[in-house]
Structure 1
């Protein structure tokens, strides 16, 4: 598991942990690192099982296990408290970490997540799984942009996406791991965990998120005792990429308040 620690110029700065969604790769957060370093040390990590050389994940792999893996990373890095930003699955890792070890987390930002798996989202996952099994890795990777990004953003970033897709295909994780991680996400039920988290939480949603309806993010925020909700009109499922300036300002203002 690759871990990267980016130090702030402020030596006494707090640490922000960034946790990616289903893909699980640290590189998802490239547009955030420099901006967050103005105020914080930043830790990113590749989640277990997402690299080509990864060992096969155990049967019954689940979200609490993912949170425990992150806990071990923070322990190894001697981080005793942090802020946390997580995208979709990564947000659930943060909620689980806050539930398991409350003193380890100060504030959380959860991006385009849900209170329960919406039927639409479940259909999207089922479609991606069918693509992987029947059409192969290239089809799975190439379809990903349709679920993550707004059409206009895809239109203006097609070359960039093609290059990223070639890299993703060449460095794809073991298929069994992709299936087990997707199964863990589909089986996860955030409702109870959300009710048990007493930390300040900012839930971010985007109106044009094709994968996860924004109403599910609103519902999640209403389950968390001390949550704020931020709805942005555009950005798709990956607004930290497509609307990076807005996203960075939003989370920095929240974490510093």
Structure 2
């Protein structure tokens, strides 16, 4: 699959399906585009599905700078424009959802609708900052492997972590995290930790929006999803049972069904 040069960086992306309507997927901090494997497999027969690794993640370039959310938003806009998509449905998860919110505000012409998964419009809570800074120190000066276990417990819920049938998937995602470029990940984490909140700007979003949150999510919990729902006028909120922060991986069939329902409603109403 190809790379594309946009906004001073080179992004790795994958495109599957060859249909008129396009879905673009933006992944979370610390992982990569593979987290949407189940969603793309389910949707690619009906839509063109494009997913990409954010800078510093997966197979994309680790640049010296440009990891703040506003720059990542410009990366997304550049990707859409370079690929001549026109406009798309943006499915953003966690950090990808933060980018989706900013893109919908700054580039509304590029986005038909939003699906926001386990994400937030608020700044990083101060309550977890000491833990986050400690993990960032270890990552920067020692490496990613020593904190992989802690990351897995933060991102995945007990239902997933204790399921013996999911052992291979747990190992896969642990390896995704550990094989990231360390310097890129450290910079990307700082970009998310020190973000500014945009809740006051959510009223500018007019696109149909579905918000999903895992019932066990401790990183971007139900309260943050409710803030999105209250402030985005044309929005719906869905809670994913048995899922924590990584609901597209933990409960893919439920997430797929909600995405499908969102898209069917969009075209029925348009």
* TM-score (norm: length of structure 2): 0.85
Correspondence 1:196 to 2:204 = yes
Residue 220 of structure 2 aligns with which residue?
212
Is the 8 Å Cα contact of residues 15 and 41 (structure 1) preserved in structure 2? yes
What CA deviation, in whole Å up to 9, does each residue of 1:95-142 have, x standing for no partner? 111112111101101111123233445455335324424653102223
Is the 8 Å Cα contact of residues 152 and 174 (structure 2) preserved in structure 1? no
Distance 1:63 1:70 in 2: 10
1:160 is matched with which residue: 146, 161, 169?
169
Q: How does 1:31-50 map to 2 (within 5 A)?
A: 31-50=38-57
Is the 8 Å Cα contact of residues 240 and 251 (structure 2) preserved in structure 1? no
In structure 2, list runs of 5 or more residues that go unmatched: 1-10, 266-270
How many corresponding residue pairs? 251
Residue 145 of structure 1 aligns with which residue?
152
Is the 8 Å Cα contact of residues 28 and 96 (structure 2) preserved in structure 1? yes
Q: Flag the 1:132–1:174 CA change in 2: closer, same or farther, 3 A.
A: closer
What CA deviation, in whole Å up to 9, does each residue of 1:45-64 have, x standing for no partner? 01112247834332x64111
Residue 23 of structure 1 aligns with which residue?
30
Distance 1:115 1:191 in 2: 5
Is the 8 Å Cα contact of residues 118 and 216 (structure 1) preserved in structure 2? no
Distance 1:73 1:17 in 2: 10
Residue 8 of structure 2 aligns with which residue?
none
Q: Flag the 1:222–1:122 CA change in 2: closer, same or farther, 3 A.
A: farther
Q: How does 1:34-73 map to 2 (within 5 A)?
A: 34-51=41-58, 54-58=61-65, 61-73=67-79
Q: Flag the 1:240–1:163 CA change in 2: closer, same or farther, 3 A.
A: closer
Residue 247 of structure 1 aligns with which residue?
255
* TM-score (norm: length of structure 1): 0.88
Is the 8 Å Cα contact of residues 113 and 207 (structure 2) preserved in structure 1? yes
1:6 is matched with which residue: 6, 16, 30?
16
Instruction: Tell me how far 1:216 sits from its aligned partner.
Output: 1.2
What CA deviation, in whole Å up to 9, does each residue of 1:149-186 have, x standing for no partner? 112311222343234434542x32132x2222112212
1:84 is matched with which residue: 81, 90, 104?
90
Q: Flag the 1:3–1:92 CA change in 2: closer, same or farther, 3 A.
A: same
Distance 2:185 2:231 in 1: 29
What CA deviation, in whole Å up to 9, does each residue of 1:195-222 have, x standing for no partner? 3212111111122112222111111221
In structure 1, list runs of 5 or more residues that go unmatched: none
